[in-house]
Amino acid sequence: MYDLQKIKKQLSKALDNKRYEHTLGVAYTAAALAMRYDVDIKKAEVAGLLHDCAKCLENDKKVSICEKHNIPISEAEERNHFLLHAKVGAHLAEKKYHIKDEDILNAIRSHTTGRPEMSILEKIIYIADYIEPGRDHAENLNEIRKLSFEDLDLALVKILQDILIHLKEIKKEIDPMTQLTYDYYRQLNS
Ligand code: FE
Ligand code: FE
């Protein structure tokens, strides 16, 4: 149903080397998490492969795609165009890679900030993006990697918490959706 080889071939042209390697890492990690949490493995791989499919577009291009297709740009996205790669990625996944599955498209759309009431697949992609083998900068990675295979929601809360702390430390703008997602899942799991 999904032609992974074909998707990989297209992605290897659309992404730079580093991003392509990251993408393979996310797909691989998402597949492993899908095994653990009884999610369709192929879907997890496809979502992992495509989550950053718009990452290497120029910012102007991302904005123009949004304008052309009436994709709303939030205030945070207006100031930080890199955030747009999630929405634009979901759009390209549908139009260029012919993905119809809403769950996969949502997973791509929500992978930068998360959102309340994510599906298991969405959580898996969010987490896989953070823990894939090529990542090495975040703190507590060993602990979070283990936790991800023990309790998906607790891992999610821990990742969101660490991201918020990190963004505050480096005085970067926090997308309100990241805060909202954290508050939602912290409450749910306390
Ligand atoms: Fe991304
Ligand atoms: Fe990514």
CA atoms within 13 A on the CB side of 50: 36
**In the chain, pLDDT over 70 holds for what percent of residues?**
100
pLDDT of 114 higher than 90: yes
pLDDT band at 113 (very low <50, low <70, confident <90, very high): very high
- 21 Cα to the center of ligand 2, angstroms: 10
Q: Which ligand is nearest to the CA of 26?
A: 2
Q: Give the C-alpha separation, 23 to 135, whole Å.
A: 11
Taking residues 144-152, what's their average pLDDT? 98
Q: Out of 26-30, 72-76, 111-115, 120-124, which region has the weakest mean confidence (pLDDT)?
A: 72-76
- 51 Cα to the center of ligand 2, angstroms: 6
Q: Is the pTM of this model over 0.75?
A: yes
- 48 Cα to the center of ligand 2, angstroms: 8
pLDDT band at 138 (very low <50, low <70, confident <90, very high): confident
More confident call, 190 vs 153: 153
Quick one: 52 exposed, middle or buried, by C-beta within 10 A (0-12, 13-18, 19+)? buried
**In the chain, pLDDT over 90 holds for what percent of residues?**
93
∠104-31-148 over CA atoms, to 5°?
Answer: 100
- pLDDT the model gives residue 111: 98
- pLDDT the model gives residue 1: 85
Q: Which ligand is nearest to the CA of 19?
A: 2
Q: Which ligand is nearest to the CA of 112?
A: 1
Q: Give the C-alpha separation, 113 to 31, whole Å.
A: 21
- 58 Cα to the center of ligand 1, angstroms: 14
- pLDDT the model gives residue 137: 81
Considering the domain 4-137 in this protein, what is its CATH number? Answer: 1.10.3210.10
Taking residues 130-154, what's their average pLDDT? 95
Own/partner long-range contacts of 160-166 (Cβ < 8 Å, ≥24 apart): 160/114, 160/185, 160/186, 161/186, 162/138, 166/138, 166/139
DSSP state letters, 68-127: HTT----HHHHH-GGGGHHHHHHHHHHHTS----HHHHHHHHTTTT--TT--HHHHHHHH
Q: Which ligand is nearest to the CA of 113?
A: 1
- 16 Cα to the center of ligand 1, angstroms: 13
pLDDT band at 190 (very low <50, low <70, confident <90, very high): confident
Q: What is the pLDDT of residues 76-95, one digit of tens each?
A: 899 988 899 999 999 999 99
Taking residues 68-82, what's their average pLDDT? 92
Taking residues 128-143, what's their average pLDDT? 93
Round the CA-based radius of gyration of the chain to a whole number and report it. 16
* Phi (first) and psi of residue 18, to 5 degrees: -65, -45
- pLDDT the model gives residue 3: 96
Q: Give the C-alpha separation, 121 to 50, whole Å.
A: 13
**Are the beta carbons of 139 and 121 closer than 8 angstroms?**
no
- 129 Cα to the center of ligand 2, angstroms: 5
